[in-house]
Amino acid sequence: MSKQRVLAICLDAFDAATARKMMAEGKLQGLKRFMDKSARFDLEHGPDNTARYTGLTMEHFASGMKPETAQKWSVVGFDKENYKAIQSHATLKPFFADLDSKVVVLDHPYFDMEGYTNIQGVVGWSGHDVGVNTFCYPDGLIDELNDKFRPPSTHHELNSMVYPSEQQTSDMADNLIASTKNRTDVAEWMFSERFPDWDAAVMAYGESHDAIEIFLHGIMDDHHVAHMPSAKPARRGLEGVYEEISNGIERLSQKFPDAKIVIFTMHGMGHSDTDLMDMILLPELMYRWNFDKTMFRPREDWKNAKSPSLRPGEAWEAAITNQLTHSLDEQIRTLVPRTTRKVGQILDKVIGKKDEQEDDHRPRSQPGASRVFGMEWMPADCYSPYWPRMKAFALPSYFAAPIRVNLKGRESKGTVELSEYKALLDEIEQEVRACRDIKTGEPVVKYLTRPGEDDPLNLPDTQGDIMIIWEGSPIGFRHPRFGDIGPAPCRRMGGHSGGYGAMWMKAEGIEPGDYGLRSSFDVAPTVVDLMGKVRPNYMDGDSVLNIVRRMEPAE
């Protein structure tokens, strides 16, 4: 195959089903025109879409590897020596680094381009979950971008839990819509003027990720908080971001008519089916199971409300951690001499007491900054002082919920014998499956796996001995032995619970049409194939080019 110029556009956490509904209403006409001229695929992100629950979607494309190949299952790992949860940035080499090609990158998340001189551009410049430290090559590019275009919005302007306030939701809608248009402006300049000589240009619209997480209640009638006044500006914000992405796709396809264009979103989006369960409900269940004591007690206004909500201006993590009541004060006073540290400072750090103003808990994206971070902001981490004395505990998580066994021979202070391991997993599974949705009475577990069952001593640090995928989005658990856990207000409005992703590809010699279902891991090798390059042997998935050239599209 001859060398080709390829433009790859990632729509981060973009929900294709929502886009199709909008097109049916006469919206997103720029995207519709592009799709009409494209080969169209639905994408499944791993078997039954399970790979999306790693939280590493963007690194899956950038590296070209599945979790099984990379042996990386989460952005959060467990420090077995110190009993700490650690979040890390991207650790895998981008496959573009192994291609003899000139590559330009604009803000693709989890794309670690540092040290690879065939890749120019910027990463970590804007967005809330960039997965890398801010980096540009050549030096000074970030200053150029900030001088020529509006500087990127802050985390608080792009991804804060503003649903209690109609005005704050409206302001965030304005910020995200403007940020999306700005990204298209930057892409046009970077790919045509600043770096015109490229074999592959790679960019991502991160605003679609923010929009679905913040504004989903504006388009989902049965959402917990769909009744709130903020739903109206939330709809405007989500649809406005999607409209700007649609306009941007048309602008870029017209700006670079010679390029083969691949647009993709790795999986669909839907309601948040992880935050409450991972970050407070499961950790509290495991605490009660170990000690037969209660640490989390919901506020009265949450218990009395049909749908618990934050107060305007209130940070979710502060609201939750302020409801954790325990005896840590006395424990720390006995463990730490007054002469060496101030007990109050330690308590504030461990218990997680915070001001009502929301803290920017995402890892700082700064040049030269650390690539690993603590999880102290998350309520689940407030249980960490107890982990060494627990038989098993819930690790902080954003996606699939991990339960880690305190196993002798693996954890530094392990208490569980290897001979007890399987029976303990059986017991934990029984207790978790006994939980019911506090509102509906339905089971809360969709499915559960045991990754370490065959070789528990060598379980990767980014996995739990039990991994749980939740059913629905319960605001609390009801357990026959431990009683009610919750209710509590939701954090993110949207999450990674939707259906299929999508890939739309426009290239010479490829007939437009619908070509059915493929793996999300086929996107990266398809890009390599379009470039006329030989794929690195570590890459997973298969190019779809041979299929679309021999297979007639569906009617």
Please give the average per-residue pLDDT across 369-386, as a whole number: 90
pLDDT at 229 over 80: yes
Q: In this structure, are 284 and 429 located in the same domain?
A: yes
Q: Are 210 and 159 within 8 A, CB to CB?
A: yes
**pLDDT tens digits along 415-428:** 999 999 999 999 99
pLDDT at 25 over 50: yes
Percent of the chain as helix, strand, coil, to the nearest 5: 40, 20, 45
Q: Which residue from 320, 380, 284 is spatially nearest to 76, judged by alpha carbons?
A: 380
Of 1-10, 32-41, 143-152, 380-389, which range is least confident?
A: 1-10
Q: In this structure, are 250 and 300 located in the same domain?
A: no
Domain that holds residue 234: 6-78+89-267+497-550
What are the tokens at 310? Answer: 């934050």
Percent of the chain with pLDDT strictly greater than 90: 80
- pLDDT computed for residue 187 by the predictor: 98
pLDDT bin (cut points 50, 70, 90) of residue 373 is confident
Helix, coil or strand: residue 534: coil
pLDDT at 174 over 60: yes
Say how many residues make up the chain.
555
Residue type, 499: G
Judge whether 127 lies within some domain.
yes
Q: Are 425 and 418 within 8 A, CB to CB?
A: no
Does an H or E element contain 103, and which? strand 103-106
Q: Are 279 and 491 within 8 A, CB to CB?
A: yes
pLDDT at 204 over 70: yes
Long-range contacts of residues 47-50, Cβ cutoff 8 Å, at least 24 apart? 49/267, 49/268, 49/499, 49/500, 50/469
Judge whether 83 lies within some domain.
no
Higher per-residue pLDDT: 548 or 90: 90
Judge whether 1 lies within some domain.
no
pLDDT at 333 over 70: no
Neighbours of 376 (CB within 10 A): 17
Helix ranges (DSSP H) in 388-508: 421-433
Q: In this structure, are 59 and 117 located in the same domain?
A: yes
Rounded Cα distance between 104 and 92, Å, is 18
Q: How many domains does the chain have?
A: 2
pLDDT bin (cut points 50, 70, 90) of residue 334 is very low
Residue ending a domain, among 491, 516, 536, is 491
Q: Which residues make beta-bridge pairs with 39?
A: 505, 513
Q: In this structure, are 112 and 241 located in the same domain?
A: yes
pLDDT at 366 over 60: no
Q: In this structure, are 483 and 508 located in the same domain?
A: no
- pLDDT computed for residue 177 by the predictor: 96
pTM value is 0.90
Residue ending a domain, among 491, 508, 538, is 491
- pLDDT computed for residue 157 by the predictor: 62
- pLDDT computed for residue 193 by the predictor: 98
Q: Are 442 and 489 within 8 A, CB to CB?
A: no
- φ, ψ for residue 432 (rounded to 5)? -65, -45
- pLDDT computed for residue 497 by the predictor: 85
Please give the average per-residue pLDDT across 244-254, as a whole number: 99
User: Over the chain, what is the mean pLDDT?
Assistant: 90
Neighbours of 301 (CB within 10 A): 11
Please give the average per-residue pLDDT across 192-215, as a whole number: 97
Q: Are 215 and 235 within 8 A, CB to CB?
A: yes
Q: In this structure, are 403 and 459 located in the same domain?
A: yes
- pLDDT computed for residue 549 by the predictor: 72
Neighbours of 499 (CB within 10 A): 15
pLDDT at 113 over 70: yes
pLDDT at 546 over 70: yes
- pLDDT computed for residue 155 by the predictor: 61
Residue ending a domain, among 475, 491, 507, is 491
Q: In this structure, are 190 and 330 located in the same domain?
A: no
Q: What is the CATH number of the domain that holds 541?
A: 3.40.720.10
Of 20-34, 200-214, 330-344, 440-454, which range is least confident?
A: 330-344
Dihedral sign for Cα 279, 284, 287, 293, please: positive
Q: Are 372 and 86 within 8 A, CB to CB?
A: yes
Please give the average per-residue pLDDT across 230-245, as a whole number: 98
Whole-angstrom CA distances from 173 to 168, 312, 344 are 9, 17, 39
Neighbours of 254 (CB within 10 A): 11
pLDDT bin (cut points 50, 70, 90) of residue 551 is low
- Which of 2-16, 137-151, 187-201, 366-380 tops mean pLDDT? 187-201
Judge whether 420 lies within some domain.
yes
Of 20-29, 114-123, 202-211, 328-337, which range is least confident?
A: 328-337
Q: In this structure, are 287 and 331 located in the same domain?
A: yes
Q: Which residues make beta-bridge pairs with 265?
A: 502
Percent of the chain with pLDDT strictly greater than 70: 89
- pLDDT computed for residue 156 by the predictor: 62
pLDDT at 361 over 60: no
Q: In this structure, are 512 and 546 located in the same domain?
A: yes
Q: Can you tell me which residue has the tokens 């110190």?
A: 82
Q: In this structure, are 292 and 432 located in the same domain?
A: yes
Q: Are 28 and 212 within 8 A, CB to CB?
A: no
What are the tokens at 381? Answer: 């981490």
Rounded Cα distance between 242 and 32, Å, is 12
Neighbours of 392 (CB within 10 A): 22
What are the tokens at 461? Answer: 């640090």
Judge whether 483 lies within some domain.
yes
Q: In this structure, are 303 and 286 located in the same domain?
A: yes
**pLDDT tens digits along 466-499:** 999 999 999 999 999 999 999 999 999 988 888 8
Q: Are 180 and 9 within 8 A, CB to CB?
A: no
Neighbours of 329 (CB within 10 A): 13
Burial of 481 from C-beta contacts in 10 A (0-12 / 13-18 / 19+): exposed
Helix ranges (DSSP H) in 153-230: 155-158, 166-189, 207-215
Judge whether 84 lies within some domain.
no
**pLDDT tens digits along 292-322:** 999 999 999 999 998 999 999 899 999 999 9
Q: Are 392 and 71 within 8 A, CB to CB?
A: no
Q: In this structure, are 415 and 545 located in the same domain?
A: no
Q: Cα dihedral angle (97, 103, 107, 112), rounded to 10 degrees?
A: 10
Higher per-residue pLDDT: 521 or 46: 521
What are the tokens at 367? Answer: 């040049």
Please give the average per-residue pLDDT across 367-382, as a whole number: 83
Judge whether 179 lies within some domain.
yes
Q: Can you tell me which residue has the tokens 């089916």?
A: 273
Rounded Cα distance between 15 and 218, Å, is 14
Judge whether 555 lies within some domain.
no
